[in-house]
Amino acid sequence: MAKDDYYVIVYKILAYLYMQLKNGENINPDFIKNDGFLFKINERYWNYVIVHLLKDEYIEGVTVTKAFGNEVIISDLENCQITPKGIDYLCNNSLFEKAKCFLKEIKDITPFV
């Protein structure tokens, strides 16, 4: 599983949102942006991930607008939060367990990542 694999990106987003919710802290949008602290992926791919997280009801609070030429604009990222359905998905998805193990292995190999 690659560090830019869909399930790795989704795991990072949902895990961060869940951690912030449990800690009672606001999210920092810079963590979950396409070029943020958690990952670096192209904007089109990131838009795809966010749109599907919203569509599948794993996150809420984000606004998606289609602009001229079908360009996707995502706003209100600071209001993003995980839903109960997202928490369930995070805790019970076997692919996320693989993503979690992959990220742990990468961190063991490169401790400053």
Show pLDDT as tens, one digit a residue, over the chain (113 residues).
678 889 889 999 999 999 999 999 999 999 999 999 999 999 999 999 999 999 999 999 999 998 888 888 999 999 999 999 999 998 888 666 666 666 565 455 444 44
Distances (CA, A) of 56 to 1, 2, 25, 59: 22, 23, 24, 8
pTM value is 0.82
